[in-house]
Amino acid sequence: MKETDFIAQNKDKWARFEKFSASNNNDPDEVSELFTEITEDLSYAKTFYPRRSVRVYLNQLSQGVFTRLYKQKKQPIGSFVNFWRFTVPLEMYRSRHNLLAAFIFFSLAIFVGAVSQAYNPEFVEYILGKSYVSATEARIQDGNPMGIYGESSQGDMFLRITMNNIRVAFFAFTFGIFYSLGSYVILLSNGIMLGAFQWWFHAKGLLLTSFLAIWIHGAFEISAIVIAGAAGITLGNGLIFPKSFTRMQSLIFSAKRGMIILLSLVPVFIMAGFLESYVTRHYLTMGSWVKAAIIGTSFLIIIMYYVIYPFIVAKRHPDKIVLKEVPRFISKKEINWHEIRKSGAIFTDTFTYFITKIRPLTKIMMSVILPIALILLALIFYLDVNAFNYHLSWNQYSGVLFGTDHDFRYYKFIGWSLILTLILGAVFYCLKPVHEENFYKQYFKFMLKHAIALSIYSVIIFSILIFSPVYLYILLFFISPFLNLIPITAVIEEISFIKAIGKGINSAKHAYLDIIMSLAGFIAVALLFSLVISSPFMGVVNLINQILTTIFITFTDHYLIIINLVDGLIYLLYFMFILSLTFMSFAFCYYSANEKATATGLYNKLEQFGKRNRNFESNLDFE
């Protein structure tokens, strides 16, 4: 954009901002919104007009109001009150259709669970587990059907229940990233569970007893799940309906809106945990009218704040209903390969570059590598199905999947070595500029050219991982820099694997510590993601297993096979992501080590020294 067009497009906004900044009686939120736009314009001007007067003007304009604006916005108590008075209610009003959809879908799921239990009396055992059902039947015989709520210490139970409620609500929200479908799946699972549970008590003539006990805390707990589901649908709708924004911009806006709703549920989680831990345990000694009053009051609070009050606020402030989202301008970071990087720079630049290359990399992963991996996964399950078990931990499951120890099979070794080679090739191929018209042709040509070097490395690494004892992994970690620079050296310098060995080892000597530290960072990332995936408490796999059990147990006796196949796909995607990041870091390690040895980038800078850059005006242009 020309500078004159840029000024003409924004001059009215800048004049309005000057007027607002000169006055002391302005809405801080309105001034803040304008201030954000001004700083984004300044960022744009710094990038494209660094030596022009418009940059100086915008810099002075933003600096002049910063101190005053900071003082206006520094109102933590007022901001906290406004969050509950206006921000949350207005967001609930904007998301009212999503809340209605979540409520209707959850109600239908409850109906499905009740009908399933009515037609299959053993259904509840599959949903809640035989041990839980047997223990509850024993409590019924003792005259205390809800006795489970009094069997744990109050403080321990409060923390455990509250964290579990947060976990379920968090997944109900975050799973909305799967185009809202994930949030509906969470609602379906919990609805079916609730419906089957309540109908089981109905069949035993204890529906009212169970209702007045469970819903003491359930009014807040179940409502929070439904509202979190609505937040997840809001998140997913940003991907489905981007409107005039890009999908990424729309996702950022919808995620912010959904997060507001989710944060508002924190007091609800705490209240539900408190009631379940300290009040529900006394259900036998409490009068029915007291229990009904608690349940009715809880529902009334939820309905008033999340359903009725948003309409009141929207009616009083119609001008604030429509959000004015402004996409932020983010200047593109140029990667200078020929520079010396410390471990932190290698780590951050890898993530930055990975994001810029996510589209072509995903294209290869989804269209080439994943189909081959799924064929291998199906073959493993067909030939080795008895080795899998629903109760395997993630490391045991991975051992069976990849063929370690007594689960070793030659077809697994060959298959996963091939997958590793393809991932390595996809990452290295995406390091260079790619052209859409010959994308796959160039990729396969690249793979044929470097197949031998990449295959040898993949076989060596995979052999080390599955054959080496665990106690040798520490030693392997310290020699890994010498191995990891071999394939990238072979690709970039276009030499054979044998020749790359000497050059790779020699390069690693120059940046050994930085390579080790960056690799340690990626191992930490891998461990963090593995906890998110496989943790017994917060793990995605554990939650998905519960959901799949709830859904498929009514349709097939082979539901465990489906669950293990889905688990295999999750672990496969996890390893593809972690390996892609790690392999991409090899390039930064190579160039950093090579720069220390040859100073290629420094010589390039020296050659350009003293030459004028004609892209921008210099002081000489004004003399």
Mind listing the pLDDT tens digit for each residue in 517-530? 888 888 888 877 77
Return all residues near 495 (Cβ < 8 A) that are at least 6 apart: 489, 503
CA distance 1 to 49: 10
The pair phi, psi for residue 332, each rounded to 5°, is -75, 130
Mind listing the pLDDT tens digit for each residue in 257-272? 999 999 899 899 889 9
Phi-psi region of 26 (alpha: psi -120 to 50; beta: other; left: phi over 0): beta
Q: Who has greater pLDDT, 294 or 56?
A: 294
Specify the pLDDT at position 401.
81
Q: Who has greater pLDDT, 377 or 104?
A: 104
pLDDT band at 8 (very low <50, low <70, confident <90, very high): confident
Query: What percent of the chain shows pLDDT beyond 90?
Result: 23
CA distance 20 to 453: 64
Q: Who has greater pLDDT, 565 or 495?
A: 495
Cα 455 from chain centre: 32
Return all residues near 63 (Cβ < 8 A) that are at least 6 apart: none
Least confident among 38-42, 49-53, 580-584: 49-53
Q: How is residue 327 annotated by DSSP? A: P
Q: Is residue 229 scored above 80 in pLDDT? A: yes
CA distance 168 to 221: 10
Specify the pLDDT at position 618.
47
Cβ atoms 165, 219 nearer than 8 A = no
Q: Is residue 614 scored above 50 in pLDDT? A: no
Specify the pLDDT at position 336.
79
Least confident among 79-83, 591-595, 615-619: 615-619
Residue 491 DSSP SS3: helix
Most confident of 292-301, 377-386, 492-501, 614-623: 292-301
Cβ atoms 585, 519 nearer than 8 A = yes
Specify the pLDDT at position 315.
92
CA distance 452 to 295: 69
Q: CA 150 → CA 142, 158, 290, 374, distances in Å?
A: 14, 12, 19, 47
Specify the pLDDT at position 449.
92
User: Which regions of 417-507 does DSSP assign to beta strands (E)?
Assistant: none
User: Of 283, 241, 40, which Cα lies nearest the Cα of 146?
Assistant: 283
CA distance 413 to 399: 12
Most confident of 373-377, 405-409, 464-468: 373-377
Question: What is the pLDDT of the chain when averaged over all its residues?
Answer: 81
User: Residue with structure tokens 């665990």?
Assistant: 470
Q: Is residue 299 scored above 90 in pLDDT? A: yes
CA distance 12 to 494: 56
Return all residues near 367 (Cβ < 8 A) that are at least 6 apart: 440
Phi-psi region of 205 (alpha: psi -120 to 50; beta: other; left: phi over 0): left
CA distance 96 to 100: 6
Q: How is residue 24 annotated by DSSP? A: S
pLDDT band at 73 (very low <50, low <70, confident <90, very high): very low
Q: Who has greater pLDDT, 79 or 535?
A: 79
CA distance 232 to 254: 9
Q: Who has greater pLDDT, 332 or 578?
A: 578
Specify the pLDDT at position 446.
92
Q: Is residue 124 scored above 80 in pLDDT? A: yes
Return all residues near 184 (Cβ < 8 A) that are at least 6 apart: 105, 229, 233
Q: Who has greater pLDDT, 248 or 410?
A: 410
Three-class SS of 157-217: HHHHHHHHHHHHHHHHHHHHHCCCHHHHHHHHHHHHHHHHHHHHHHHCCCHHHHHHHHHHH
Q: Is residue 569 scored above 80 in pLDDT? A: yes
Mind listing the pLDDT tens digit for each residue in 388-417? 665 556 667 777 888 887 778 889 999 999
Cβ atoms 390, 374 nearer than 8 A = no
Q: Average pLDDT in the 318-328 region?
A: 74
CA distance 309 to 302: 10
Specify the pLDDT at position 423.
94
Q: Average pLDDT in the 48-59 region?
A: 72
Q: Is residue 225 scored above 90 in pLDDT? A: yes
Structure tokens at 63: 């600096």
Query: What percent of the chain shows pLDDT beyond 70?
Result: 83
pLDDT band at 617 (very low <50, low <70, confident <90, very high): very low
Q: Is residue 621 scored above 60 in pLDDT? A: no
Q: Average pLDDT in the 135-152 region?
A: 81
Q: Is residue 362 scored above 70 in pLDDT? A: yes
Domain boundaries, the chain: 3-74, 83-320, 343-605
Return all residues near 225 (Cβ < 8 A) that are at least 6 apart: 106, 168, 169, 172, 186, 187, 190
Mind listing the pLDDT tens digit for each residue in 593-612? 888 877 766 666 656 655 55
Phi-psi region of 51 (alpha: psi -120 to 50; beta: other; left: phi over 0): alpha
